[in-house]
């Protein structure tokens, strides 16, 4: 008997801690080094969602944390179990998802002697995790667990993955009662950070003075979407979201996604809400935003309020309370109503043009349906309650423009971590089981985690996976055709993802004709977990490809931004004054 018959062992204490912290599911993949914990999870009623790859486990924990605001927990075995998990951990790091990664480790007496699965695990985790704890003494178990939990949730730094490992012999070690400080078993919640009175007053004064205010939302925006809408109503600011806040304000006259470039170029006041100025926001550069624009930066962490372009006012606080405080003052700007109205009108025209393009998108020269035709059909089975997940290259770009915006949306995030689609959808279906989950995934991206359909079938995760099958890594294929000499290593011909799905026990259909789509989608929804393998044309280029995202320009992510940055740099080296917009 490995489990101590008399009194608690360390594994038991760890799981008691997880229960006390409200963990109801752990995502993982089994292995001898974590077996005492695995056994204990089952004993204490935590559901084990056993994936087929450790990165899938971390992706699922990541999605749970984003969707439920709980701590996501992944458990992996030592050595290759952990290295397999690494891409998921890197993705949680960049996306700031609160994921606790628990790993097993070589028993202490064997460590460093060439033991099975022995690797410098803590060192591997260091650059990606908010905190890394390698526990070797049972007295350190609870303090270390407490510390990694707080770090993952973002107590002192941005939320993100935190890592803890235990040698297997320690997990089995007896832990006499009386040594456990019950304080560690109390639930822990992050303290709300409220803004200072003077900062709020100064920000309100800038907002009142603004003529063309723009709000850019980021992390957790769905949590404060009511306040955000109220703020937009009162301030008259125009509004742009980012992929991590998509759906926070689904339809509002101030929301002008089709006028992104102009809004960024012409705004004289830019408010970032819990948002870094990363590549998706042109690093806040004066080449893309007006050089004399004033920035107000609001966020919980130092980088959210100061990265790349400093704010005239930087408020280190939660966005919700800060908006509430701003709303309790006067934030009606002088406002250039004509500017706002022009943007709103132009956005509407572009929206209508897009709707027509969607309806009338021609089949490609290869005779296959346009990706927009597929998206238009999916839009018919999406309502505001639907959780949408998108993963891929071209198809992600088409979907960003054309997929109906719902209040819950997930995609590969700023790391560009394709492959997340199926695990994200699985976690969504498990955690929010009453809601429809539709994942639209490129065929290349689907392949990474295709086997996770098995997880969906076993765990009854009722998601619908729509594979946009253009038989290749299409955004890169376009890049090669346009910019390189060879088209190589980008074709994925002849795969039958429907057959693969059926082989794993899921309902599946292949769809080649657009006319068959509505019926196939309805059947997929009724029979989820279900997959549709939809042949789409490889010929149309996506907005992201057209804007140069696939090319990886030198200074900026998009070609137009990059060109503007180069012009700015040339002027700067020539010594001429910086342009104002
Ligand atoms: C893990 C990972 N590998 C490779 C890439 C580079 N990459 C980005 S998009 C893409 C093509 C995606 O192909 P697919 O999912 O079929 O979508 P499509 O472009 O065909 O719509 C590739 C290879 C990446 N971002 N992440």
pLDDT per residue over 283-324, tens digit each? 999 999 999 999 999 999 999 999 999 999 999 999 999 999
Q: Is 162's C-beta closer than 6 angstroms to any atom of ligand 1?
A: no
DSSP 8-class letter at 214? E
Q: 110 is in which domain, residue-wise? A: 8-185
Q: 523 and 381 in one domain?
A: yes
Rounded mean pLDDT, 68-90: 97
pLDDT over threshold 60, residue 581: no
Q: Is 266's C-beta closer than 6 angstroms to any atom of ligand 1?
A: no
For the CA of 395, the closest atom of ligand 1 is 21
pLDDT the model gives residue 576: 60
pLDDT the model gives residue 578: 53
The last residue of a domain, from among 185, 208, 232:
185
pLDDT the model gives residue 3: 44
Yes or no: say if 449 and 91 are a contact pair by the CB < 8 Å rule: no
Smallest CA separation from ligand 1 atom 12, residue: 393
Please list, residue by residue across 61-86, b when 16 or more beta carbons sit within 10 angstroms of its beta carbon and e when fewer do.
bbbbbbbbebbbbbbbbbbebbbbbb
pLDDT the model gives residue 6: 55
C-alpha to C-alpha distance for 263 and 248, rounded to whole angstroms: 19
pLDDT the model gives residue 5: 47
Q: What is the dihedral of CA 10, 14, 20, 24, to 10 degrees?
A: -130
pLDDT the model gives residue 251: 86
C-alpha to C-alpha distance for 330 and 200, rounded to whole angstroms: 11
Is 356 part of any domain?
no
For the CA of 391, the closest atom of ligand 1 is 15
Is 580 part of any domain?
no
pLDDT over threshold 70, residue 566: yes
Q: 472 and 558 in one domain?
A: no
Q: Is 351's C-beta closer than 6 angstroms to any atom of ligand 1?
A: no
The last residue of a domain, from among 144, 159, 185:
185
The overall average pLDDT reported for the chain is 94
Yes or no: say if 80 and 117 are a contact pair by the CB < 8 Å rule: yes
Is 431 part of any domain?
yes
Q: 325 and 365 in one domain?
A: no
Smallest CA separation from ligand 1 atom 3, residue: 418
Q: 373 and 304 in one domain?
A: no
pLDDT the model gives residue 499: 98
Q: 551 and 513 in one domain?
A: no
Q: 137 and 79 in one domain?
A: yes
**pLDDT tens string 199-254:** 999 999 999 999 999 999 998 898 999 999 999 999 999 999 999 999 999 889 99
Ligand 1 pocket: which of 56, 392, 396, 550 to mutate (most atoms within 8 A of CB): 392
Residues 6 or more apart in contact with residue 405 via CB below 8 angstroms: 246, 247, 250, 251
- Dist. CA 225 → ligand 1 center (Å): 31
Rounded mean pLDDT, 364-377: 96
In Å, how far are 127, 160, 172, 219 from 134, measured between CA atoms? 15, 18, 16, 30
Confidence category of residue 368, pLDDT binned at 50, 70, 90:
very high
Rounded mean pLDDT, 167-172: 97
Is 447 part of any domain?
yes
User: Residue 504 maps to which CATH number?
Assistant: 3.40.50.970
Confidence category of residue 175, pLDDT binned at 50, 70, 90:
confident
Q: What is the 3-state secondary structure (H, E, C) of 551-573?
A: HCCCCCCCHHHHHHHHHHHHHHH
Is 581 part of any domain?
no
Rounded to two decimals, the pTM is 0.96
Smallest CA separation from ligand 1 atom 13, residue: 473
Rounded mean pLDDT, 125-146: 96
Q: 25 and 162 in one domain?
A: yes
pLDDT the model gives residue 516: 98
pLDDT the model gives residue 435: 97
pLDDT the model gives residue 184: 82
**pLDDT tens string 245-292:** 999 998 899 999 999 999 999 999 999 999 999 999 999 999 999 999
The last residue of a domain, from among 129, 163, 185:
185
Q: Where is average pLDDT lowest: 18-22, 423-427, 503-507?
A: 18-22
Is 350 part of any domain?
no
Confidence category of residue 1, pLDDT binned at 50, 70, 90:
very low
Is 353 part of any domain?
no
User: Residue 240 maps to which CATH number?
Assistant: 3.40.50.1220
Domain count, the chain: 4
pLDDT the model gives residue 448: 98
Q: What is the 3-state secondary structure (H, E, C) of 262-276?
A: HHHHHCCEEEEECCC
- Dist. CA 418 → ligand 1 center (Å): 6
Q: Where is average pLDDT lowest: 330-334, 412-416, 534-538, 542-546?
A: 330-334
Q: Is 241's C-beta closer than 6 angstroms to any atom of ligand 1?
A: no
Residues 6 or more apart in contact with residue 561 via CB below 8 angstroms: 282, 285, 287, 288, 553, 555
Rounded mean pLDDT, 375-400: 97
Q: Is 399's C-beta closer than 6 angstroms to any atom of ligand 1?
A: no
Q: 228 and 138 in one domain?
A: no
Strand 132-134 with 313-316, pairing? unpaired
Q: 212 and 71 in one domain?
A: no
Confidence category of residue 190, pLDDT binned at 50, 70, 90:
confident
Q: Is 442's C-beta closer than 6 angstroms to any atom of ligand 1?
A: yes
Q: Where is average pLDDT lowest: 62-71, 82-91, 177-186?
A: 177-186
pLDDT over threshold 50, residue 468: yes
pLDDT the model gives residue 7: 67
Q: 339 and 255 in one domain?
A: yes
- Dist. CA 444 → ligand 1 center (Å): 6
* Residue 349 CB neighbour total at 10 angstroms: 11
- Dist. CA 445 → ligand 1 center (Å): 6
pLDDT the model gives residue 180: 58
Q: 177 and 79 in one domain?
A: yes
Q: 139 and 211 in one domain?
A: no
pLDDT over threshold 80, residue 2: no
* Residue 211 CB neighbour total at 10 angstroms: 16
For the CA of 473, the closest atom of ligand 1 is 13
Q: Percent of the chain having pLDDT more than 90?
A: 90
Confidence category of residue 177, pLDDT binned at 50, 70, 90:
low
Ligand 1 pocket: which of 445, 477, 537, 557 to mutate (most atoms within 8 A of CB): 445
3-class SS at 288? coil
Q: Where is average pLDDT lowest: 167-171, 174-178, 356-360, 547-551?
A: 174-178
- Dist. CA 398 → ligand 1 center (Å): 14
pLDDT the model gives residue 464: 98
Q: Is 476's C-beta closer than 6 angstroms to any atom of ligand 1?
A: yes
pLDDT over threshold 50, residue 16: yes
Is 352 part of any domain?
no
């Amino acid at each position: 008997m490995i489990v101590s018959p008399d009194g608690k062992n360390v594994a038991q204490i760890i799981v008691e801690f997880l229960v006390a912290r409200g963990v109801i599911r752990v995502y993982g993949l089994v292995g001898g080094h974590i077996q005492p914990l695995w056994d204990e999870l089952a004993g204490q009623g935590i559901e084990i969602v056993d994936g087929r790859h450790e990165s899938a486990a971390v992706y699922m924990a990541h999605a749970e944390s984003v969707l439920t605001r709980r701590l996501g927990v992944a458990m992996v075995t030592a050595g290759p179990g952990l290295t397999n998990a690494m891409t998921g951990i890197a993705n949680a790091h960049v996306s700031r998802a609160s994921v606790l990664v628990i790993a097993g480790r070589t028993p202490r007496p064997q460590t460093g002697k060439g033991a099975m699965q022995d690797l410098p695990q803590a060192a591997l985790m260091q650059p990606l995790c908010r905190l890394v704890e390698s526990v070797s003494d049972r007295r350190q178990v609870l303090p270390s667990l407490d510390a990694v939990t707080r770090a993952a949730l973002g107590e002192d730094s941005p939320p993100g993955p935190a890592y803890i490992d235990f040698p297997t012999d320690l997990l089995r070690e007896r832990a006499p009662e009386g040594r456990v400080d019950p304080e560690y078993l109390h639930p822990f919640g992050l303290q709300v950070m409220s803004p200072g009175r003077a900062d709020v007053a100064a920000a309100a004064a800038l907002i009142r003075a603004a003529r063309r205010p723009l709000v850019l939302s980021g992390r957790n925006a769905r949590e404060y979407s009511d306040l955000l809408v109220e703020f937009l109503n009162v301030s008259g600011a125009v509004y742009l979201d980012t992929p991590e806040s998509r759906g926070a304000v689904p339809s509002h006259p101030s929301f002008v996604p089709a006028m992104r470039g102009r809004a960024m170029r012409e705004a004289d006041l830019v408010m970032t809400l819990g948002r870094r100025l990363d590549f998706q926001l042109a690093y806040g550069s004066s080449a893309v935003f007006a050089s004399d624009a004033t920035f107000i930066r609001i966020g919980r962490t130092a980088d959210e309020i100061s990265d790349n372009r400093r704010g005239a006012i930087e408020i280190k606080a939660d966005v919700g309370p800060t908006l509430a405080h701003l709303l309790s003052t006067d934030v009606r700007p002088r406002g250039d109503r004509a500017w706002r109205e022009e943007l709103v009108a132009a956005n509407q025209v572009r929206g209508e043009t897009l709707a027509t393009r969607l309806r009338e998108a021609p089949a490609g020269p290869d005779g296959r349906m346009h990706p927009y035709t597929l998206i238009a059909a999916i839009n018919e089975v999406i309502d505001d309650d639907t959780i949408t997940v998108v993963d891929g290259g071209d198809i992600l770009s088409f979907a960003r423009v054309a997929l109906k915006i719902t209040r819950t949306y997930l995609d590969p995030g700023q790391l560009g971590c394709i492959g997340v689609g199926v695990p994200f959808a699985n976690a969504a279906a498990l955690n929010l089981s009453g809601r429809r989950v539709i994942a639209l995934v490129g065929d290349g991206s689907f392949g990474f985690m295709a086997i996770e359909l098995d997880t969906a079938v076993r765990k009854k995760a009722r998601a619908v996976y729509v594979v946009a099958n253009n038989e290749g890594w299409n955004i890169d294929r376009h890049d090669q055709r346009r910019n390189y000499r060879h088209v190589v290593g980008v074709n994925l011909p002849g795969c039958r993802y429907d057959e693969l799905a059926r082989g794993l026990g899921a309902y599946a259909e292949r769809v080649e004709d657009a006319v068959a789509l509505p019926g196939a989608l309805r059947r997929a929804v009724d029979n989820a977990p279900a997959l549709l393998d939809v042949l789409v044309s490889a010929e149309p280029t996506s907005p992201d490809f057209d804007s140069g995202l696939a090319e990886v320009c030198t200074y900026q992510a998009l070609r137009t931004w990059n060109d503007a940055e180069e012009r700015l740099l040339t002027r700067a080296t020539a010594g001429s004054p910086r342009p104002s917009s």
